[in-house]
Amino acid sequence: MLLACVTACTVLALPRMAAAGGTLAVSISGANGGAIEGAVVVAEPLQPVARTHAPQRAVMDQHNLMFVPEVLVVMTGTAVDFPNSDQVRHQVYSFSPAKKFELALYAGSAHSPIVFDKPGLVTLGCNIHDNMLGYIWVSDSPWFARTAADGRALLRELAPGEYTVRIWHALLNESGAQLEQRISIADNQSGSVSFRLTRPLRAPTHNHGADKKWEDY
C-alpha cells in the first residue's frame, strides 16, 4: 500500500486561475525509499470547477535519436509541435486510443502541430528508429506536474474542493488503487500527499536510440 504525507518541489507551467487557490505538495519514493524522478502527478477535481485557460502550445522534440522530453504532460486541447532536430529523418506515429496519428518522414519542422483533444496516455514511436519511445500524458485537469530529481512536485492555484491525485511513471511496475489518493483543498491553504511504491521500477526496455551511431543509418 502507499503511504500518505508530503513535501514540496518543481512545477510545470500551468494555466493561471482567476483567483489564488490552494497549493498541493506531492512526493513519490520508490520501494527502496529513494526519490522517483519524472513521475506524472495529476490532481483531478471530483466536482466540476469553473476555470478559463488560453489555448496551450507545447513541443516534443527529437534529438540524438530520442524524444525530448521523454514524457510530456499537457492539458486536453493542447497543440503539440514535433520538430526534428536530428541529422536524420524521423516518422513519428502513435496507435494510442487517445490520439492516433502519423507524421510522414521528415526533417526540421515540416508538419503542423497535432492537437491532443482527448485525455489519456499517448505512446509515441518512430517507424524508422524502433528504439525511439516517448509519451504524452493528456489531462482534462489543469493541475499537473512531473516530479524533480528529489521526487517532489508542487501544484499551485487549486480551486477549493475534493481531488483525486493520481501518479504515473513510464517504468511503473504496479497498478491499482494505491496509485491514487483523495484529498481536500481549502481556499488559499496548503495540502500534501506522498506515495511510496511497493515494487521497483522496471528496467528500460528501450535505449531510446541513444545506443545507435549515425553510421547505423
Residue identified by cell 516518422 is 91
**Is the domain of 69 the same as that of 124?**
yes
**Is the domain of 31 the same as that of 92?**
no
Distances (CA, A) of 31 to 2, 71, 146, 197, 202: 10, 22, 19, 5, 12
Q: Report mean pLDDT in 10-residue bins for the chain, 217 residues.
A: 34 43 95 96 88 80 94 96 94 96 94 96 95 95 96 95 96 94 91 96 70 45
Last residue of a domain, one of 139, 160, 187: 139
Domain carrying residue 179? 1-53+143-217
**Is the domain of 132 the same as that of 63?**
yes
Query: Can you give the CATH number for the domain in which 189 is found?
Result: 2.60.40.10
**Is the domain of 16 the same as that of 74?**
no
**Is the domain of 127 the same as that of 162?**
no
Torsion angle, alpha carbons of 15, 70, 61, 74, to 10 = -20
Query: Can you give the CATH number for the domain in which 88 is found?
Result: 2.60.40.420
Please state, in angstroms and rounded to a whole number, the distance separating the CA atoms of residues 165 and 88: 40
DSSP helix/strand/coil, 163? strand
pLDDT value of position 206: 59
pLDDT value of position 20: 62
Last residue of a domain, one of 139, 171, 199: 139
Give the total number of structural domains in the chain. Answer: 2
Mean pLDDT, the chain, as a whole number?
A: 86
DSSP bridge pairs for 193: 26
Residue identified by cell 500524458 is 137
**Is the domain of 128 the same as that of 63?**
yes
pLDDT value of position 214: 42
**Is the domain of 217 the same as that of 149?**
yes
pLDDT value of position 18: 43
CB burial of residue 111 (10 Å; 0-12, 13-18, 19+) = middle
Last residue of a domain, one of 139, 168, 193: 139
HSE-up (13 A, CA, CB side) for residue 142? 21
**Is the domain of 130 the same as that of 82?**
yes
**Is the domain of 63 the same as that of 49?**
no
Q: Which DSSP string do the residues of 85-144 spell out, in sequence order?
A: -SSS-B-EEEEETTEEEE--SBSBS-SPPEEE-S-EEEEEEESS-TT-EEEEEEESSS-E
**Is the domain of 178 the same as that of 207?**
yes
**Is the domain of 89 the same as that of 127?**
yes
**Is the domain of 17 the same as that of 37?**
yes
pLDDT value of position 126: 96
